Amino acid sequence: MDKPWFKAYPPGVPHTVRPEEYRSVSHLLEESFQKNASSRFSVCMDRWMTYAELNHASAAFGAWLQGLALEPGARVAIMLPNIPQFAVVMAAVLRAGYTCVNVNPLYTARELAHQLNDSGATTIVILENFARTLEEVIDDTPIQNVVVASMGDMLGFWFGRWITFAVRHLARMVPAFKLPRLDKQGLPRHIVSFKQALSEGTQRTLQANTRNLDSTAFLQYTGGTTGLSKGAVLTDRNIMAAILQADVWFSPATARVGDVRNINCIAALPLYHIFALTLCLLSIRWGAQITLIPNPRDIDKFVDVLKKRPFHLLPAVNTLFNALLSHPHFQSLDFSSLCVSQAGGMAASEGTAKRWQEVTGCAMVEGWGMSETCAIGTNNPVTATQFSGSIGLPLPSIEIAIKGDEGISLPIGSTGEICIKGPNVMTGYYRQEEETARAFTSDGFMRTGDIGVMDEKGFTRIVDRKKDMILVSGFNVFPNELENVISLCPGVVECAAIGVPDEKQGEAIKVFVVRSDVTLTEEDVANFCRQNFTGYKIPKHIEFRDELPKSNVGKVLRRELRTNK
């Protein structure tokens, strides 16, 4: 097919990348750890970890995992926020030859149980703050090995102990929990602390793994149109392609820094999310530094961290850019080092982009991708001097086609479904053959569900979404999941969920409810949702109606609800 976007590429950006440069993701990790041993890798609460320390800790933890005699490719769940343990565990799982299953730490018990059961994970690494959630469901999951981390585990002996004490006893952020040491069959369950696992691992030797580019590196869970999340199978080839695509695309901007090892990348977005995860791995390829922001909602502390040292790469969703701009001290920061302000995860607004550029002098660069594509798809050139309003050009080795319902590619300027092909695109959904078949066209393009139009230069704009997905602060929320659960609320006959515009979140969830009990209140429904959904899935608006608009076959017409909301 014609690829007009190549003519719009910045000078020096290649048209293709070669994931085959590496044998696997663990090959990249080990190469970086050796090459950058003396360099700083991450900083959290002013405590640094070097690449040598990351190498040592991940080797020890990986050896400990291997000592469990897990099956090759075993799934290991990682339920951690942005703290040093995340990179250690992620690297350890990959180096030991297993598969990472990233889990949102704020999941409810129901959501956690589904992901653990669907992935078949037998091992989980979890921050103690969230262990009570695991306690609620562990007996109904395959989990046999639990590693419980504490906030201060890798923040130094004295400071780390103080932070753990403060989190447990002053902030009271660790609800009491007791994980059963026997499963339903009476078999022993292995439960250890993160520090104990590391200590035991140092007595072992990490064995070479058999990873290759076709191995499964991550099961990255994304919303499902059936109401249940699905695991996108991301291979080492997919991950390597995404890292290299991001590397060459950012190169015109990072060239300003000179040595990429001097780059400071801000990790405020959660590392379990594919957007931040890919950029974390890119930083490791560079041998760069990562500033970990455990709680980006605390904008006061976030801004204080940004004051401390030059920062070069700041990836964020529109809501986070807005929150920073609204802080009274943000404008006083030194932005002279900032070379990439990468927007993604949700639509960036022109108003936010304009204010961001006025304050920082750095144009907001919007991109588009999915969990299924390792967050990589299209991006505006990093040489851009102003916000474009488009999602940009296909990155190297990626093809974007605008297709009709029959899967036929449409001419330039036509409106249709955005479809993508490239080495970064998942191989399919884990144990979901029918869903996988529906996701791809006969010529190998993945259907994204987004409706867009491409211009003659290769820039694409999203104009609508084919799916009913709701995008809340960069997180996918699917109406079917909400409706399936809310329908179980006592007094609810039926319900329908839609997304409505929201200045802070991009979209907010609105639920229309038909009730059988007139005493049922909006607060009753909201409380039920709080018990069953993680925060971003809780409806902001609840409206009672006598009936819902339906088609002649009884299907609820969400489009009509959106029109007449």
What is the pLDDT at residue 551?
Answer: 61
Q: Are 249 and 282 contained in the same domain? A: yes
Q: What is the mean pLDDT of residues 445-474?
A: 88
Q: Are 268 and 205 contained in the same domain? A: no
Residue 210 contacts by C-beta under 8 Å, 6 or more apart in sequence?
A: 72, 97
Percent of the chain with pLDDT over 70: 97
Q: What is the mean pLDDT of residues 285-312?
A: 96
Q: Are 325 and 420 contained in the same domain? A: yes
What is the pLDDT at residue 225?
Answer: 45
Task: Please report where in the chains the tokens 């009271």 appear, as a residue.
Answer: 172
User: Tell me: the pLDDT tens digits for 465-491?
Assistant: 776 778 899 887 878 788 879 988 999
Q: Distance between CA 495 and CA 487 in Å, rounded?
A: 6
Residue 291: pLDDT over 80: yes
Is 30 contained in some domain?
no
Percent of the chain with pLDDT over 90: 81
Is 434 contained in some domain?
yes
What is the pLDDT at residue 2?
Answer: 80
412 close to 419: Cβ distance less than 8 angstroms: no
Q: What is the mean pLDDT of residues 221-248?
A: 88
Compute the half-sphere exposure of residue 294: CA atoms within 13 Å on the CB side of its CA.
17
Greater pLDDT, 149 or 224 = 149
Name which of 140-154, 223-237, 394-408 the model is least confident about. Answer: 223-237
Is 220 contained in some domain?
no
Q: Sheet containing 541-544: which strands, arranged edge to edge?
A: 492-502, 506-515, 541-544
Give the tokens for residue 283. Answer: 């930083």
| pLDDT band, very low/low/confident/very high, at 441 (cuts 50, 70, 90) | very high
- For 454, phi then psi, to 5°, come to -110, 135
Domain boundary among 465, 481, 511: 465
User: Tell me: the pLDDT tens digits for 405-426?
Assistant: 888 999 999 989 999 999 999 9
Is 516 contained in some domain?
yes
What is the pLDDT at residue 297?
Answer: 87
CATH code at 342?
3.40.50.12780
Q: What is the mean pLDDT of residues 36-60?
A: 98
Domain boundary among 465, 494, 512: 465
Greater pLDDT, 457 or 504 = 457
Q: Are 190 and 77 contained in the same domain? A: yes
CATH code at 532?
3.30.300.30
Q: Distance between CA 171 and CA 227 in Å, rounded?
A: 35
Domain boundary among 444, 465, 486: 465
Is 172 contained in some domain?
yes
Q: What is the mean pLDDT of residues 129-142?
A: 97
Q: Distance between CA 103 and CA 273 in Å, rounded?
A: 9
What is the pLDDT at residue 184?
Answer: 87
Nearest residue to 450 via CA among 437, 432, 463, 433: 463
206 close to 96: Cβ distance less than 8 angstroms: yes
366 exposure class (CB count in 10 Å sphere: 0-12, 13-18, 19+): buried
Residue 190 CB: number of other CB atoms within 10 A?
14
Alpha-carbon distance values, 482 to 195, 407, 485 (Å): 38, 30, 5
Q: Are 479 and 460 contained in the same domain? A: no
Mean pLDDT, the chain, rounded, equals 93
User: Tell me: the pLDDT tens digits for 66-118?
Assistant: 999 999 999 999 999 999 999 999 999 999 999 999 999 999 999 999 999 99
CATH code at 167?
3.40.50.980
Q: What is the mean pLDDT of residues 374-396?
A: 94
367 close to 343: Cβ distance less than 8 angstroms: yes
Strands (E), 335-374: 340-343, 364-368
Exposure letters 45-82 (e unless 16+ CB within 10 A, then b): bebebbbebbbbbbbbbbbbbbebebeeebbbbbbbbb
Is 25 contained in some domain?
no
| pLDDT band, very low/low/confident/very high, at 565 (cuts 50, 70, 90) | low
Q: Distance between CA 377 and CA 499 in Å, rounded?
A: 24
Q: Distance between CA 561 and CA 547 in Å, rounded?
A: 11
Q: Domain tally for the chain?
A: 3
Q: Are 265 and 119 contained in the same domain? A: no
Q: What is the mean pLDDT of residues 131-160?
A: 97
What is the pLDDT at residue 349?
Answer: 76
5 exposure class (CB count in 10 Å sphere: 0-12, 13-18, 19+): buried
Residue type, position 490, single letter: P
Q: Are 275 and 305 contained in the same domain? A: yes
What is the pLDDT at residue 554?
Answer: 57
| pLDDT band, very low/low/confident/very high, at 150 (cuts 50, 70, 90) | very high
Q: What is the mean pLDDT of residues 397-401?
A: 97
Q: Are 176 and 240 contained in the same domain? A: no
Residue 446: pLDDT over 60: yes
What is the pLDDT at residue 121?
Answer: 98
Q: Are 477 and 459 contained in the same domain? A: no
Q: Are 501 and 366 contained in the same domain? A: no
Q: Are 516 and 415 contained in the same domain? A: no
Segments forming the whole domain that contains residue 174 = 45-211
What is the pLDDT at residue 59?
Answer: 98
Q: How far apart are the first and last CA of the chain?
A: 42
Is 217 contained in some domain?
no
Give the tokens for residue 526. Answer: 């909201």
Q: Are 453 and 327 contained in the same domain? A: yes
What is the pLDDT at residue 1?
Answer: 65
Is 82 contained in some domain?
yes
The strand pairing partners of 75, in sequence order, are 99
Residue 195 CB: number of other CB atoms within 10 A?
15
Greater pLDDT, 493 or 315 = 315
| pLDDT band, very low/low/confident/very high, at 227 (cuts 50, 70, 90) | low
What is the pLDDT at residue 557?
Answer: 83
